[in-house]
Amino acid sequence: MKYLLLACLLGISLSVASQPPFMISKVISQNKIVNFNNQKLLVIDFWATWCFACGPATEQMETLQETKPDKVFIVSVSDETEETISAYLQKNPIRLAVLEDYQPSSMVNLFQVKSRPYAVLLTLDGKILYKGHPSGITEKLIDKYALQQKSRPQKSWNDLFYTVKNTTSQVTLTEKDKKLFIAKQPQTGKTMYVENGLFQYSGPLSELIKYLLDCSNYQIEFNGMTDYGVSMHCDESELSNSKTAVLQQIEKLLSFTVQTKSKPMEASVLDVVNPKLLWDDKQINWGNNGQPTSLIGTDHIEADNLTLKEIANLLSDVKKNLYYYDGNDVRPHDWNFQYLYNGLMMDDLLNNFGIRLKTEKIDLPIYIVSHQD
């Protein structure tokens, strides 16, 4: 509710998803190549310190900024903390303007950024012209869209970005603050993170249920109701103790029920034939406080601290086919394998992780979401 109120106070239109000003927590560093001077176009380059492919992509954006200084202004945005970003910049300087995203009303959420690196090309009025991998934003594309802008809009920096003072890290949360809270909100992309021992989520109800039940999209069905957006938070320890108990509380608060049925479906089942090859959780460390994180590249999946069931669910979402793990291994593992081509993926998983993919017909648990009677 407070973010909706803040949006109203700032005069931000909620009907136009990309309309500036965009909320940020801080300008970490200024653009060292060019000043903002009402360039006709804006590029938002999304990156993270844990993203290995982001460095070369950001360097490409720096080159683009040098070659098109009068047509486009480029900012580099991370949704990590100021401390994490600043420590990274000491060893890996970025010459673009570096901004700390504002959580949870973030640009990552607003533009539904699902992977990194990712970039959005807009007019200064917020019209999206391109979104996707930064390599798609070329000099030719900049020239094309700059030519279409007949006049140079008179915008100030504050017209584009609004710095919101985020004092969450300075606050000691009370037990009342950590009490589970959930409310409906306009449908948005998913944002999920832990800060100061508080688990926070914003996004579709279906994605929250999927996370709490540790299942795939194939296992969630809505009966007599449609999916909608929610915003929630709860004590991280409460979530660690029992995701099922948290879901039961949410069912009561939002007046819906989740019932289970069995449905026979064909699936690619993850069969661990050589457990010794499974990576532990020390192979990748993206500094995310032990929270599971994944990066979906053009042909590889990299993941930090995902269980076998979670990697199966991720494959189901990415490959648009059902993948399933029904074993007893619940430990977090790190991952890096090819997923784009089925044959290469099967070889990669078998030879490097000891996992054989086998096609079977299984009785899949299906979770039916419906209004309470």
Taking the domains of the chain in order of start, what are their residue ranges? 2-163, 169-256, 264-365
Cα separation, 190 vs 188, whole angstroms:
7
Query: Would you mind telling me the total number of residues written for the chain in this entry?
Result: 373
Cα–Cα–Cα angle for 321, 109, 46, nearest 5°? Answer: 90
Residue 186 preceded by cis peptide, ω within 30: no
Radius of gyration of the chain (CA): 22
Largest CA distance in the chain: 64
Return the pLDDT at 18. 54
The answer to whether the beta carbons of residues 203 and 188 sit under 8 Å apart is yes
Cα–Cα–Cα angle for 318, 323, 329, nearest 5°? Answer: 115
Residue 117 preceded by cis peptide, ω within 30: yes
To 10 degrees, what angle do helices 205-213 and 243-254 make?
Answer: 150
Chain-centroid distance, C-alpha 317: 14
Return the pLDDT at 165. 58
Return the pLDDT at 199. 85
Over its length of 373 residues, how does the chain's per-residue pLDDT go in tens digits?
333 333 333 333 322 345 678 888 899 999 999 999 889 999 999 999 988 889 999 999 999 999 999 999 999 999 888 889 999 999 999 999 999 998 756 788 888 888 899 999 999 988 899 999 999 999 999 999 999 987 777 888 888 888 875 444 444 556 665 688 888 877 766 777 777 778 888 889 999 999 999 899 899 999 999 999 888 888 888 888 899 999 999 999 999 999 999 999 999 999 999 999 999 988 887 655 556 677 787 888 988 889 999 999 999 989 999 999 999 999 999 999 999 999 999 999 999 999 999 999 999 999 999 998 7
Give the C-alpha distances (Å, rounded to integers) separating 85 from 30, 167, 310, 329: 14, 17, 28, 34
Cα separation, 253 vs 243, whole angstroms:
15
Return the pLDDT at 234. 87
Return the pLDDT at 59. 94
Cα separation, 75 vs 69, whole angstroms:
13
Both tokens assigned to 128 = 């999206």
The answer to whether the beta carbons of residues 73 and 104 sit under 8 Å apart is no
- Phi, psi (rounded to 5 degrees) for 338: -80, 135
Cα–Cα–Cα angle for 284, 47, 137, nearest 5°? Answer: 130
CATH for 2-163, options being 1.10.10.10, 3.40.30.10, 3.40.50.280, 2.60.120.260: 3.40.30.10
Which regions of 71-153 does DSSP assign to beta strands (E)?
72-78, 97-101, 118-123, 128-132
The answer to whether the beta carbons of residues 74 and 57 sit under 8 Å apart is no
What DSSP string runs through 201-228? EEEEHHHHHHHHHT--GGGEEEESS---
Cα separation, 160 vs 55, whole angstroms:
25
Return the pLDDT at 269. 96
Q: Give the count of beta carbons closer than 10 Å to the beta carbon of residue 122.
A: 22
Cα separation, 338 vs 344, whole angstroms:
7
Both tokens assigned to 210 = 């999927």
The answer to whether the beta carbons of residues 77 and 101 sit under 8 Å apart is yes
* Claim: this prediction has a pTM higher than 0.85: no
